Structure 1
């Protein structure tokens, strides 16, 4: 057991060191891509917490990402608050939305839960379009450079943007690891493995699930707010159905219920589409074939298969 902990520390510490070091060697194009990947991986980690560790399949996570994005964007652009405060407002907005949706959606299970979360996400998307005077509807709005100053640092600067994306990813990643090794995290895994037994042992399953939804929503909102600040755009497309499907695909590809799965899934899918789009206009067909192949031959995802076949100590 002690040796497994050392292996985990070495692997995950090495990944973080590698991500930090990449900013000094990557060309400009990939420098921006990796910063974007780390933010989206934070979003995927929020989704993985709910799907991978509690076995709750949500089809409406875009509403949490958008809550953080618009909560931050409206506060910074329309209310004139500072970027750090706007970031906190975005995370708080996601947590509140998560608490409301979780309290209602958790009254259902299975397919019904999926449908209810999807309906809430669509409602969020329609609200954004309805209040177009504030949200600018489909067009969205740009966050001005002067509003993207974070404690004196200009987030439009590529180096600072990368460092900010890495910081958010690092904090989120370490928080997830700490949560998984905490009694709360172990209880979530117990609920995933055998909910009836957890109830029999006296755990308030509904309360644990609700807390998991809130934490997942807040982490997804953090990713949304960070994305808006780093890349300077807030748009309704981030609240659409595809941004609820993306985290599901990322987690399935990387490995549901694995700590590194979200990062691996986002990285793989991002560059799969990027490379194939440079080779053919039918890049989505290429991506689709590869994704189907991975689903057939690596049903537990890339990191899940590595854990199953080689490194059983992976969290």
Structure 2
């Protein structure tokens, strides 16, 4: 379930209560008149099932509550209440199939902003991948996959497409289009310095057989990207973080960027281009899979239609 707390201007409190009382799946409604100091207003709380959360939030947004007050949503891991059980039964569908679009949009937006932290993680991830290539170490490559922060922007693009709000894809697209070149440029500088210091030979790729999978583009490159992207989006929708870690170590995005840099450094432009193609295939595959997951889930499709006013 989700706990929704509303700070409402007093003149709209009755309308907020009407929304909460009229929606199935809402219970434990509380009211503290004048309970908020900044912004001033009444504090209203309610526990809402996942299946009902999106419609309740839509109603609160229609009242203009976010503009003049506030709406916060928190996840409830354990609820012991007969009223809560009744609220769950009052709403069709399974909680795991529900999509709280506002929550998903906020989460992906937070993880897809181009900032120092995002760039730092991406630079470190690509550098780790490059080290994994020159040392022929799949374990290091897997570590780079886990560190890479690129799934957040990819998921945000998929959500933007699913909700038919392409302008929401601008921020994550910028994060990727700026982040990867910057990370690869920083890695190239490090690779050149390492090569000049004779830390690895120019024919290093000839002995890197254990990481050849990174640059070899084939049908399974797209298949893995689609499967991982689907698993990742389901993980984000259902808040299953353990599954998301599995996604990170399945896709060849960051490793492909690191391999391309190493290949370019030693003058193997064929492998550099193949690695870049591998990067592109994985990025596109993850976005497509994420969009399909959101579009094909029955509850998600119903809510998506309401989200865009269809």
Structure whose alpha-carbon radius of gyration is higher: 2
**Which protein, 1 or 2, shows the higher relative CO under an 8 Å CA cutoff with sep ≥ 6?**
1
Superposed pair shares fold, TM > 0.5? no
Q: What TM-score, normalized to structure 1? A: 0.31
Judging by fraction of residues, say which structure has more helix: 1
